[in-house]
């Protein structure tokens, strides 16, 4: 009887974790619209809602992001299918990836761990201040998309 209860508990846990992982996996997009099974190489992964306004620091961070990050992470940090993940995603919420995570990713690179895109190399030429402004931009995008 006890084994049956333990087995049932394990099955429930596997189902819950599997459902959570499925819900967290990014939607595929085609022409800006989500599809279940048609990824578009280089297409946006996330549907990013822009805030009405950005703070002055986020506006500066947006320009720095566009010059240094968007070629991989896409316009408005929406990611690019087959290239790099969206940064406007629950995985990058502040409680899971604090601002220092962005600093370390830029300075040291990142080994692939959440996404199947491979490792991220370090980004040369950005100061801690630059990354702080880029992070401000990303955080404002995240908040506009319900990621706090």
The boundaries of the domain holding residue 40 are 2-144
pLDDT in tens, 33-57: 444 456 678 899 999 999 999 999 9
Can you give the CATH number for the domain in which 72 is found? 1.10.760.10
- Per the structure, the count of domains in the chain is 1
Q: Whole-number mean pLDDT of the chain?
A: 85
pLDDT higher than 90, residue 110: yes
pLDDT higher than 70, residue 75: yes
Q: In terms of C-beta distances under 8 Å and separation of at least 24 residues, what long-range contacts does 58-67 make, across chains too?
A: 58/133, 58/136, 58/137, 58/139, 58/140, 59/137, 60/133, 61/132, 61/133, 61/134, 61/135, 61/136, 61/137, 61/138, 62/137, 64/126, 64/130, 64/133, 64/134, 64/137, 65/134, 65/137, 65/138
């Amino acid at each position: 009887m006890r084994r049956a209860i333990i087995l049932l508990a394990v099955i429930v846990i596997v189902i819950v974790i599997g459902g959570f992982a499925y819900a967290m996996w990014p939607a595929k997009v085609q022409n800006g619209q989500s599809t279940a099974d048609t990824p578009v190489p280089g297409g946006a992964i996330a549907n990013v809602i822009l805030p009405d306004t950005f703070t002055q620091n986020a506006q500066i961070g947006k320009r720095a992001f566009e010059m240094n990050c968007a070629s991989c992470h896409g316009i408005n940090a929406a990611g690019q299918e087959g290239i790099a993940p969206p940064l406007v995603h629950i995985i990058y919420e502040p409680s899971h990836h604090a601002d220092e995570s962005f600093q370390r990713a830029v300075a040291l690179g990142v080994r692939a761990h959440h996404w199947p895109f491979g490792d991220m190399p370090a980004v040369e030429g950005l100061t801690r201040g630059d990354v702080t402004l880029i992070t401000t931009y990303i955080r404002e995008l995240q908040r506009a998309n319900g990621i706090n």
